[in-house]
Amino acid sequence: MPKYIVDVNLPYYFNLWNNENFVHVRDINDEWSDNQIWEYAKENNLIIITKDSDFSNKIILKQPPPRVIHLRFGNLKMNAFHEFLLEKWNEIDKLITKYKLVNVYLDRLEGIE
C-alpha cells in the first residue's frame, strides 16, 4: 500500500518514487483538482509530495491526515533534482513522521507542527 502521493506537477519518471510506497496522481487521475487530491490522500492516509503552495497553506489550518512535503525550490535540471532529493530523502522521510508539513529548501529542511 502506498505511503506517498506525488502531485501531478512533479516528474513522473523518477527512481525514488518508482516503488510500491509511492503513487503518482497521473496514475489515478491527472485531471483531479487539488481538493480531490487532498481528499484522496486524507481517505487513504497518504502524504502529499508537491511543489504547490495550496497544499501547505491548507495543512497549516488543518490536522493530518494528510501530511504534506512541500518542495520549495525553483526549477532544477532533472539530474540535479533527482540527486538532491535522493540525498535528502531519508531525512525528509524522518521529519514527516513528526511534523504535519515539511518544507524542503535547497539549503535546509523545515518541519512545521
Q: What is the pLDDT of residue 92?
A: 97
Q: Does any domain span residue 62?
A: yes
Residue 64: exposure state from Cβ atoms within 10 A (0-12, 13-18, ≥19): middle
Instruction: Give, for all 113 residues of the chain, the pLDDT tens digit.
Output: 789 999 999 999 888 988 999 999 999 998 999 999 999 999 999 999 999 999 999 999 999 999 999 999 988 898 999 999 999 999 999 999 999 999 999 999 999 99
Q: What is the pLDDT of residue 76?
A: 85
Asked if 23 and 66 touch (Cβ cutoff 8 Å), the reply is: no
Residue-number span of the structural domain to which 98 is assigned? 46-76+89-113
Q: How many domains in the chain?
A: 1
Q: Does any domain span residue 103?
A: yes
Q: Does any domain span residue 106?
A: yes
Kindly report whether the global pTM for this prediction surpasses the value 0.85. Answer: yes
Nearest of 82, 36, 79 to residue 48 by alpha carbon: 36
Q: What is the pLDDT of residue 75?
A: 83
Q: Does any domain span residue 20?
A: no
Q: Does any domain span residue 34?
A: no
Q: Does any domain span residue 23?
A: no
As beta bridge partners, residue 111 has: 102
Q: Does any domain span residue 14?
A: no
Q: Does any domain span residue 97?
A: yes
